[in-house]
Amino acid sequence: MTDFLSKIVEQKKQEIAAAQKRLPETQVREQAFIPRKRRGFLKNMERPGTNIIAEIKRASPSKGVICPDLNPARYASQYEQGGAAALSVLTDTPYFQGSFEDFKAAREAAGLPMIRKDFLISSYQIYESSVLEADAVLLIVRILSAEQLRDYLSLCAELELDALVEVHSEEDIEAASRAGAKLIGINNRNLSSFETNIETAINMVSLLEPGQIPVAESGIRGPEDVQKLRQAGIRNFLIGESLVRASDPRAFLKSLILDDHVF
Ligand SMILES: O=P(O)(O)OC[C@@H](O)[C@@H](O)c1c[nH]c2ccccc12
């Protein structure tokens, strides 16, 4: 595991230990299983055309502060008006300045399905995501064992949470496929060097199994990138920084979706 990933995993272990003291796992589990109406995240990735998961991101380890005063409710509604298929909200605080409060504010402001974006390494966090009323969670293959990935996918299925399974290498894809993952996020960002290259998704998409749905993640800057990825057969995109920095996120989103008729 890279330095950054091992550091953040250590951080998460401490956070989980602290959370367990406030609310024991048996209790969060019980709350998690209270039936909830989910908004259908995976379903929206199966829509025809360009589907964008628009991210609310205040800061990141690679870019530092992007937008510290970001208003999550405002962004959520602009993303919705711009035609996003789903929302992604970072809930990690130390590295991304996100929070559960951001997630809740975005959820109240828009009707789109929402993914909780964090570094999940424990079933505790999956229960927590259900209580938070997430519709989907991110599972990063690189930080999970084969057994964890399988267990968390089946836990998600029981809770009716969709899972976006993140990969960055051929081995990651093999592990994701062995675990039965359906929605596969190919991260264009190398988590050791933080460099992004959209060729990563273009080159790796052919390794997916029939029936798996690709999502290109990170480093997508504009309509040309979306077009290139669409030519490679990818219709789903996770976009953060360039949307947060856009002077008019709604118009920017529309410009990304505009080219649909070409395909
Ligand atoms: O801001 P970008 O380059 O558009 O990237 C968005 C998203 O892909 C990125 O935030 C991300 C992808 N996988 C992650 C895992 C954890 C935290 C963040 C991420």
Residue 154 located in a structural domain: yes
Q: pTM of the predicted model, to two decimals? A: 0.97
The SS3 call for residue 14 is helix
- Looking at residue 4, its pLDDT comes to 86
Mean pLDDT of all residues in 191-196: 86
Nearest to 134 by CA among 149, 122, 118: 118
Pull the structure tokens for residue 126.
Answer: 């999956």
CATH number at residue 46: 3.20.20.70
Residue 17 located in a structural domain: no
- Looking at residue 229, its pLDDT comes to 97
Residue 165 located in a structural domain: yes
Residue 101 located in a structural domain: yes
How many domains is the chain built from? 1
- Looking at residue 259, its pLDDT comes to 63
Q: Indicate which residue's Cα is closest to atom 10 of ligand 1.
A: 240
The SS3 call for residue 52 is strand
CA 239 to ligand 1 center in whole angstroms: 7
Cα–Cα distance for residue pair 54/90, rounded to 1 Å: 11
Residue 263 located in a structural domain: no
Q: Which atom of ligand 1 is nearest to the CA of 242?
A: 4
Alpha-helical segments (H) within the chain:
3-22, 25-32, 41-45, 72-81, 100-109, 123-131, 146-159, 170-178, 199-204, 223-231, 241-245, 249-257
Pull the structure tokens for residue 141.
Answer: 């293959």
Average pLDDT, the chain: 96
Residue 5 located in a structural domain: no
Domain that holds residue 93: 23-32+40-258
Could you tell me if the CB of 141 is within 6 A of ligand 1?
no
Nearest to 200 by CA among 210, 214, 213, 186: 186
Could you tell me if the CB of 116 is within 6 A of ligand 1?
no
Could you tell me if the CB of 54 is within 6 A of ligand 1?
no
Could you tell me if the CB of 200 is within 6 A of ligand 1?
no
Residue 224 located in a structural domain: yes
Cα–Cα distance for residue pair 115/91, rounded to 1 Å: 10
Which residue from 96, 218, 234, 237 has its CB within 8 A of the most atoms of ligand 1, so it is best to mutate?
A: 218
Where residue 68 falls among pLDDT bands split at 50, 70, 90? confident
| Residue 209 DSSP one-character state | P
Cα–Cα distance for residue pair 32/81, rounded to 1 Å: 31
In this predicted model, what pLDDT tens digit does every residue of 92-121 receive, in sequence order?
Answer: 999 999 999 999 999 999 999 999 999 999
Cα–Cα distance for residue pair 113/99, rounded to 1 Å: 18
Residue 12 located in a structural domain: no
Complex-level ipTM: 0.98
